[in-house]
Amino acid sequence: MLRCPAALIVCSLLGVGWPAAALTAQDASPTQRPNILFIFTDDHAPHAIGAYGSRFAELDPTPNIDALAQQGMVFRNSFCTNSICGPSRAVILTGKHSHVNGFMANGNRFDGNQVTFPKLLRQAGYRTALIGKWHLSSEPQGFDYWDILPGQGDYYNPEFISAEGRRQVEGYCTDLVTDMAIGWIEQQREEGQPFMLMCQHKAPHRNWMPALRHLDLYDDVQLPEPASLFDDFADNASPARNQEMEIDRHMNLVYDLFLEPDADWDPRAGKALDGSGFRNLAKMTPQQRQAWDAAFAAENAAFRQAKLSGKELVRWKYQRYMKNYLRTIKGVDDNVGRMLRYLDTSGLAENTIVIYASDQGFFLGDHGWYDKRWMYEESLRMPLIVRWPGVIEPASDDTHLVQNLDYAPTFLDLAGAEIPGAMQGRSLLPLLRGQVVPDWRQAIYYHYYGFPAVHQVARHYGIRTRQYKLIRFYQTREWELYDLESNPDERHNLFGQAAYHDLTATLAEQLGALRLSYGDHSAIGIPEHK
């Protein structure tokens, strides 16, 4: 169990020091223990989900996910600890921050020998499976069955790796993962054991390749732009100006937006390149490729003829990017609907907890960006929607500060299994039951380590309370402070202003307490703020 110096302050911040398992395990032991279905996507920003008030809500991009929200609980203040794919997955498996579980940045290798919640669920009598995106380099452990995408995986005709070896499967990845997930559940129905299935999609990860059936979706729509599309970062610390994730300067017309290369195209020119989608085109069947090319041909020809530049070019790129992003989400939503209908028709729905989440948020043109990594809200926030028939009040909201750190203890608590004291998160079970939890955390801790790496986002850590956020860019020794009530888009840095000196000192002290309590000594210490 974590030690809590200045116990009342730090334990209140963290929500640790009280054994959640002892408090709630007896409540989570019905005659028939619930199945757990964890549907997990990659880079699905909450502000692209209708239930979270998406600016695209009029397009109805996520009707099935929204229906799940109406049947369950939406966590309105759900955050990650480290906004990048592999580290988020490692935190979810272990219930520990990146510096503790050892997977701090993409490119690390997950130590599968450590304690994870799937291993503990197996010990507790659950059948466990992982299907889809893994992205942790090592071979999965703790699963009775696994069938994973190598690396990021492909959208079309992807390869899968299982204990039996590697194979290629024809079809669209989101559909295939769902087919496999339903097939595995169908097999478990004969066993009589409760199951935990992690159904993990590649979508809507870069390079945003929609299913053929969705290629013409939104063709006649002009998508709304974010107010900060042309942000100049005038009031931010220098890392915001020195990144490589701008739609303007870094989004590639061929690799990211699928224009046909012209005679002058240099495949090595540019920064933050990702040619995986372009390479995936070569793996398509002739019929798939013909449909793909036909869908974009007229628009691509019109673009070449228009010879856009400046803001008009940025606007065109934004429209192409966001339409493909939303189209890939439509494929996810279709398959969420398939899963829910299967649970209904199979009779499993009443005793199956369904969780929908994604590994972090994503920039949808906000600040002129795509990708994630930052502690800014669009990147920090994660969707988290949970349905538990007969327990969760339908159409309910929760506003507590929760993190992906809390998933592992929650899954164990749902199964009535013991939560290891070394896990740094806290079970969400009392919140799912609608209980009052007066000692819940009042702040979250964040730390991003992935520099130097693609997109060149500087290393930083920080604290977020309900109203304020303090960020330390320790590579450049700069700070940012935001009042999230008066400045939700984080464009007015308050750090250094005399009126906020006392608040800054208080937040810096709390940040130091969080780092101490979580045992994070992996970066330069916090110097006195000035």
Q: What is the pLDDT of residue 105?
A: 96
Confidence bin at 522 (pLDDT 50/70/90): confident
Closest CA to 383 of 329, 340, 338, 435: 329
How many other C-beta atoms lie within 10 A of the C-beta of residue 105?
A: 17
Across 187-213, average pLDDT:
93
Contacts of 24 (CB under 8 A, 6+ apart): 413, 427, 429, 430
Does the pLDDT at position 528 exceed 90? no
104 located within any domain: yes
Closest CA to 456 of 231, 249, 311: 249
289 located within any domain: no
Q: Beta partners for 429?
A: none
Contacts of 255 (CB under 8 A, 6+ apart): 207, 273, 274, 275, 277, 278
pTM over 0.75: yes
311 located within any domain: no
Q: In what order do the strands lie in the sheet with 444-448?
A: 444-448, 460-464, 468-473, 478-483
pLDDT tens figures, 240-252: 999 999 999 999 9
Q: What is the pLDDT of residue 523?
A: 64
312 located within any domain: no
Q: What is the pLDDT of residue 5?
A: 34
How far is it, in rounded angstroms, from Cα 528 to Cα 530? 6
373 located within any domain: yes
| Domain span at 81 | 34-208+322-432
Six token digits for residue 213: 């059936």
Summary mean pLDDT of the chain: 93
Across 299-315, average pLDDT:
97
Does the pLDDT at position 3 exceed 90? no
360 located within any domain: yes
201 located within any domain: yes
b/e map 231-261, b = 16+ CB within 10 Å: bebeebbebbeebbbbbeebbbbbbbbbbee
Our count of domains for the chain comes to 1
The verdict on whether omega for the bond into residue 30 sits within 30 degrees of 0, i.e. cis, is no
Q: Residue 118 maps to which CATH number?
A: 3.40.720.10
Name all contacts of 425-428 with Cβ < 8 Å and 24+ positions apart: 425/95, 425/96, 426/15, 426/16, 426/20, 427/20, 427/21, 427/24, 428/75, 428/386, 428/402
**Three-state secondary structure of 480-526:** EEEECCCCCCCCCCCCCCHHHHHHHHHHHHHHHHHHHHHCCCCCCCC
Q: What is the pLDDT of residue 18?
A: 30
pLDDT tens figures, 452-503: 999 999 999 999 999 999 999 999 999 999 999 999 999 999 999 999 999 9
Across 194-211, average pLDDT:
98
Q: What is the pLDDT of residue 410?
A: 98
pLDDT tens figures, 411-430: 999 999 999 999 999 999 99
pLDDT above 90: percentage of residues in the chain: 90
Pairing of strands 145-149, 444-448: unpaired
374 located within any domain: yes
Does the pLDDT at position 504 exceed 80? yes
Q: What is the pLDDT of residue 189?
A: 75
Helix extents (H) in 156-217: 173-188
Q: What is the pLDDT of residue 47?
A: 97
Confidence bin at 188 (pLDDT 50/70/90): confident
Q: Beta partners for 79?
A: 381, 403
Confidence bin at 22 (pLDDT 50/70/90): very low
Does the pLDDT at position 238 exceed 60? yes
Q: Beta partners for 482?
A: 469
Q: What is the pLDDT of residue 164?
A: 95
Q: Helix %, strand %, coil % for the chain, to 5?
A: 35, 15, 50
Does the pLDDT at position 21 exceed 80? no
Does the pLDDT at position 7 exceed 90? no
